[in-house]
Chains A and B, each alone.
Chain A
């Protein structure tokens, strides 16, 4: 592998390139000249972006939370309607809607809202997420399964019950985990 001029030339280029690479990595890692290329910076950026998003959600939906605290659930629902239309890709509105509907006793509609919210953003089933609603969803699933069990068995052809069961099973599946 060191026979002729070409071999020597190839080896020289290889050694120079490797040495240059090592020097470059060492120098760049030491001085930190470009902050954007630093690992921790990028991770911090993402963390900050996520926290900003959570803050923004709180700000956007603050009027709804205020109406809820005042006991004005009906108006809160109307306000949520507006916000959901304005931000269709945001799951938080659906989650809040689900919470309000559950408080009002509209269980089936509450489940449907939670399902929509989780489909848009799975953070609500993550235990560690700041948006987590895992405990409420768990409770919803347990109540739903208790609710649906006998009714479904007695009315196997009922389409509404079948659709409701599917939604409960979806929530159960998301709570169970998986790759999503």
Chain B
């Protein structure tokens, strides 16, 4: 495996993700949220005026970096393929519920690991949930729950999401009047844009080449064990983040009083469980969806649109959890997500005679 180029790509992705995930927080991003796709999407949705939480409005350059980095890498290595047509509307809805799951846990799978490596033991419930969700998704796949295959071709509109994110980058620099920026709260905490854009672009490119994905790593490990490099990437990510947290003095082990965390373990478990399950069905965690959208996958693009809608609704409808706990709307949204996934599994399962 050590001679395998793919192995080193995956390991590098994990390493850089772990280091930058902590450093971005040191440089100004919110605590334990150096990289958090769901939080960043909620912030960006707010910046675009899709919700009115004045403390969560900032167009995160990291997101643009991830997508554009993926585009650049895909174009350079001739990996850009416009493709789509595999249950796009279902993916849109699944994207919405994936963000709901993240919002209830307060973090995407990347932030889950960043919280854990910062000593936030309340994230353990999320880890267990994520693994359980991935397992559930795999069971579904094994029993015929899968989307129709994609078709390839320019007509699928694979360029649209990259163009959209390019436009968002232009907005970030031009600052049109409809763009909103928080002066208080999490939306007002950000690292210098140069660092975030460079980090995001670099990570986007690396992740495009390596196919790195948190839930994908767990899934591949369950299927094939250590024979594939996937889990090594995750382990290096966790290790790098842990070391960086220790070195930067951000390792504070404990259950209570952690930044951006609540102690409703059941809902952390269920929230991440939903994320894990959906991730397996749609082929990747929120981060991976951004990367795939960057390399021309229009179905991943629909998930990204769904995630933006989910981010807006999570804030507008009070679904997002806070340090004081999970609201009734958050709980309902998680259960509704499981209803959607379970019903979909039953209805769309390809049954053998």
Contact = CB atoms under 8 A, between A and B. Distances in A.
Say if the two chains contact directly (CB < 8 Å).
yes
Interface of A: 36-39, 41-43, 46-47, 50, 115, 119, 122-123, 126, 128-129, 165, 168-170, 172-174, 176-180
A46 B177 contact: no
A39 B171 CA distance: 11
Given A126-B184, A126-B188, A179-B56, 20 more contacts: A37-B176, A38-B177, A39-B177, A42-B178, A43-B181, A47-B183, A165-B256, A173-B256, A173-B261, A176-B257, A176-B258, A176-B260, A177-B260, A178-B260, A178-B261, A178-B323, A179-B36, A179-B39, A179-B42, A180-B186
9 contacts: A39-B176, A126-B184, A169-B257, A176-B252, A178-B260, A179-B30, A179-B42, A180-B185, A180-B186
Contacts of A122: 55, 184-185
Nearest to B103: A179
A40 to B, nearest CB: 8
Interface of B: 30-33, 36, 39, 42-43, 54-56, 106-107, 174-181, 183-186, 188-189, 252, 256-263, 322-324
Contacts of B179: 39
B323 A173 contact: yes
Interface SS of chain B: helix, strand, loop or mixed? loop
Nearest to B181: A43
Nearest to A115: B324
B185 to A, nearest CB: 6
Contacts, number: 93
The 7 A-B residue pairs with the shortest CB-CB distance in the complex, in nearest-first order: A178-B260, A172-B257, A177-B31, A176-B259, A169-B256, A178-B259, A179-B186
B323 A170 contact: yes
Contacts of B256: 165, 169, 172-173
Contacts of A37: 176-178
A41 B106 contact: no
A42 B176 CA distance: 9
Nearest to A130: B184
A43 B42 CA distance: 20
Contacts of B174: 39
A180 B184 contact: no
